[in-house]
Structure 1
């Protein structure tokens, strides 16, 4: 419960101040076992504090105390839901980064799995960060395990060897400290299994005193090194074949299993098979024949292939049955039972784009280590992704506004959402330019002080 936002909204709607204090007092008592007089004092203090911030003197520093309002909400535009809206906002973040006068070999502009800095002619550093799945906050070990595994995957598929993990944990004011300990244990389980140490981190409360409840969120980051150029999506070549390893799912599939009561599927996700496969691929003797790699996560293969189309301006042809055959049967069975499109949800497979003449040898290597793999498609010159079913029927695979709805609440929200994408995108474009202008102005002002 964000009591700061509750007060702001109530004041905006011209609620009576005494009534607001009384309502907030009841909310505080609901979360905290404290006497009524102390709850009332807290309530009044918070209201007074918010009123103070709303009456701040903005003279000469308004640009520092305000932000470009779009009046478009995260959920309305699908941000974080691994679909068209989410991809669009990430492209705007990349636009701000592109305007920054710094250089990286691979940065968010490429919409790739991780970022890469070239240290010298033969050494590269790769970084990645992944957030906790929003619905795994009550299952901290699983949250830590899958977030750590996800960020290591992102480093591995860029062709790097992971060397360190970092964590950022945020727990709301009423959260049990045991959640922090369990979350850390989940990260460290992956750390021990992969021999990648957890070396640093941060632990904070969500919203400080202003957020009541026990919500857990945060992120896990990873750093990797390599001595060859990254296997970024942009390196895909016309005529390459696309290989895929077995997908057993991660945080998304775990969430699906919990909130739909398929808990027997959780165990299928508890593995480091992806890391093992990536290690083999990154040490393949003919490193130049593996052009690109990615993990099938962001909105499933539907989202990932369309991002590759945008980055490379090349096309992709996929074979649906080949993909389905490589999804763990327990996971696929659950998705089919729940009518969840397996092409639009994260299944945590490795997608390998490689020289077609080397495909058999790559598959032989992976299969020798009991890793299932097959050819699921090829790179074409169409500029879009099409998928062919087992009967030879083909259709264009377009990104959806959101990833496949995999929890009961997501299915309801899908029905409620009515978004004018083009109109919202235009507003976000305008506010992105404002953010860039603000950044440029402040950078110039600070530099002037040192001239």
Structure 2
């Protein structure tokens, strides 16, 4: 079985062999130029993001590190109201990594990028000695053209409605169960998916949407707290309105996990003015990816506190997660 060797990172013939593997799937005219920098044609205000992916296991129900790296970058741009256009990819590969596994990951990235309508236009590969990395690390950067201006964690206003585009916790439970070999008797797949087309559908309501965020590490809890503090507002969410799969609820009860802190990789939290909240929901539900969209709360004057009304009618503070809740979920 062929594996990555240090010579593959040396810049010689072996490096060219690996390069051919990337170009086999990353089939873009700009990338094929193999220049030190790519020349891009962009008009208008742009959004720019970068991220790194170190998930373990690299393959999990509903996705893999390659799909995750593309979706994560696309979604970070989308959450700022931008339509993703270009992505760079960089790989740090440990000596001994299987070439067939690398090819599966590259193929997954190519398919995900094509499905999202984004172009992989530049990249880099480094090979490090065995034991100096955990198999494979991927770094991505992305550029998008802003279509919904003013989207910011600092722009949420009192009376805004809080909307979630689907069930929460799917990714966190999927990854944990696979990594730890847990037999939870539940069938949960990661929600890993690009969100740019969801955001494109919301462009007609752009002047009434104030903030968006994909609730990844730290889940819904971290996302709401970060935005509440940034905008100096209080928030109240309703446990009965938060969409969660029964399988995720059951897994959390078995493992003693807080659903609100679980990672998501294919959901958006949206803050809109109350006048268009129902319109936002209608637009979202027209997309099969967002059929479980719901209004889960509202925003009030305040100084950064998030409350949840429980199914029992009591209230509790939803605090920022402390410590490492679920390592290596993205």
Aligned residues: 280
Counterpart residue number, 1:339:
256
Counterpart residue number, 1:203:
125
- The 1:350–1:127 alpha-carbon spacing in structure 2 relative to 1, beyond 3 Å, is same
Counterpart residue number, 1:313:
232
Q: What TM-score, normalized to structure 2?
A: 0.76
SS in 1 for 2:154: helix
How well do the aligned residues superpose, as a CA RMSD in angstroms?
Answer: 2.8
Counterpart residue number, 2:64:
142
Unpaired stretches in structure 2, ≥5 consecutive residues? 1-41
Which protein has the larger Cα radius of gyration, Structure 1 or Structure 2? Answer: 1
Alignment of 1:227-376 (within 5 A): 227-247=147-167, 252-258=172-178, 259=180, 260-261=182-183, 265=187, 267-269=189-191, 271-272=193-194, 274-281=195-202, 283=203, 285-323=204-242, 326-348=243-265, 349-370=267-288, 371-376=291-296
Between 1:211-220 and 1:288-297, the stretch displaced more is 211-220
Q: Distance in 1 between matches of 2:54 and 2:244?
A: 21
Match of 1:402 among 304, 317, 323: 323
Q: Distance in 2 between matches of 1:335 and 1:126?
A: 36
Q: What TM-score, normalized to structure 1?
A: 0.57
Match of 1:386 among 273, 289, 307: 307
Q: Higher strand share goes to which structure?
A: 2
Q: Quick check: 1:291–1:355 contact (8 Å CA) kept in 2? A: yes
Q: Distance in 1 between matches of 2:227 and 2:165?
A: 18
- The 1:278–1:330 alpha-carbon spacing in structure 2 relative to 1, beyond 3 Å, is farther
Q: Distance in 2 between matches of 1:222 and 1:331?
A: 32
How big is the shift at 1:228? 4.4
- The 1:214–1:155 alpha-carbon spacing in structure 2 relative to 1, beyond 3 Å, is closer
SS in 2 for 1:379: strand
How big is the shift at 1:305? 1.2
How big is the shift at 1:189? 2.0
Q: Higher helix share goes to which structure?
A: 1
The runs of at least 4 aligned residues of structure 1 exceeding 6 Å deviation read none
- The 1:128–1:264 alpha-carbon spacing in structure 2 relative to 1, beyond 3 Å, is farther
How big is the shift at 1:153? 0.8
Q: Distance in 1 between matches of 2:324 and 2:261?
A: 5
Q: Quick check: 1:128–1:154 contact (8 Å CA) kept in 2? A: yes
1:128 paired with 2:49, answer: yes
SS in 2 for 1:399: coil
1:226 paired with 2:143, answer: no
Counterpart residue number, 2:89:
167
Match of 2:109 among 165, 173, 187: 187
Q: Quick check: 2:166–2:293 contact (8 Å CA) kept in 1? A: yes
